[in-house]
Amino acid sequence: MSTPLTPKAERTRNHILDTALTLFRTQGYETTTLRDIAAAAECSLGLTYRYFARKEDLVLVLYSRMVQETNAEIAQLPPVGMAERFQQTMSKRLEQVTPYRDSVLFRSGTITNPTSDVSLFGEAAADMRQQTLEAFVMLVRESRDAPRNALAETLAALLYSLHFGIILFWLIDRSAEQQHSKRLLEFSATLIARFQPLLSLPLVSSSLNQLAAVLRPVFVGES
C-alpha cells in the first residue's frame, strides 16, 4: 500500500473496510473471517486479500482512522484552557470508540493484550501512539494557559497517559452509558484546571516529570 491507490481502488478498499467494521461490531471480531468480509462486501476473496492480507490489518486501519480523526480534532480546538481542550478531545474520543464497545475486538482483551498484533499498546500501533502524543503536545502548547516549554512535553505525556487510563476505566464501567467514565473525565478536567497554578512549583513539576518518565514507556513506547 506504499503506492497511491486509484480513486476506484480507494473506494473499493474503503467499502471492504466499512463492511469489515460493521461485521466486527455486529458479530464480533474473533468470529469474523476474511471470507465473511468478502461475501458481505460482495467482493471476491482474492480482491479482498489484495487490500487486506490479514484480518489484523483491518483493525490497524481502523486505529489509524481513529488516530487521524482525533489528531485532526486536536488541530482544530479553540485556544481555550488546557483542561477544556483535554475534555473536548476526550469526549469525542469516547464517542468515537463507543460503537465498538461491545465488539469482541474490545471485549476479548485484544486491545489490552500487548502481545497481540492488534493491541493498542503493541509494536504495530507504536507509530500511531507517537503521532497522537505529538498531537497532545499541540493540545498543551496551543492552549491559552500553556506552561513553559519542558513542562509542556511532560504534561502532554501525562494527558495522553490519562487518556488511556480513562479508556481502560470506560471499558470496565458497566453503568448506563458509562456515566461514571464521563464523570471521571469531568472530574479530571476540573482537577487539572484547579491545580494548574501549582504546576510551576518545583516539587510539583519534578513529581510530574518523574511520573511521565514512568508512564511514557508503557503508554507511548521506549524512546
Q: Where are the alpha helices (DSSP H) in 101-148?
A: 104-107, 126-141
Closer residue to a copy of itself (CB): 9 or 191: 191
CA dist 30 and 140 (Å) reads: 38
Q: Which of 62, 180, 193, 196 binds a copy of itself (CB under 8 A)?
A: 180
| Cell numbers at 207, concatenated | 513529581
Q: Which of 78, 99, 197, 217 binds a copy of itself (CB under 8 A)?
A: 217
CB of 61 to a copy of itself, least distance (A): 21
User: Which amino acid would we find at residue 45?
Assistant: L
CB of 137 to a copy of itself, least distance (A): 21
Q: Which of 169, 193, 196, 199 binds a copy of itself (CB under 8 A)?
A: 169
Query: Which stretches does DSSP call E strand in the chain?
Result: none
From the list 39-47, 81-89, 150-158, 176-184, the region that binds a copy of itself by CB under 8 A is: 176-184
Coil/strand/helix, residue 163: helix
CA dist 24 and 63 (Å) reads: 14
CB of 46 to a copy of itself, least distance (A): 32
Is residue 40 part of the contact set for a copy of itself (CB under 8 A)?
Answer: no
The closest alpha carbon to 185, from 158, 169, 166, 171, belongs to 166
Is residue 184 part of the contact set for a copy of itself (CB under 8 A)?
Answer: yes
Is residue 67 part of the contact set for a copy of itself (CB under 8 A)?
Answer: no
Q: Which of residues 105-144 bind a copy of itself (CB under 8 A)?
A: 106-116, 119, 121-122
Closer residue to a copy of itself (CB): 45 or 201: 201
| Cell numbers at 67, concatenated | 488516530
Q: Kindly state the helix (H) or strand (E) to which residue 168 belongs, with its residue range.
A: helix 149-172
Measure the CA angle with vertex 136, ends 134 and 137; round to 5°: 65
> What are the residues binding a copy of itself (CB under 8 A)?
106-116, 119, 121-122, 165, 168-169, 171-175, 180-181, 183-184, 187, 191, 194, 203, 207, 210-211, 214-215, 217-218, 222
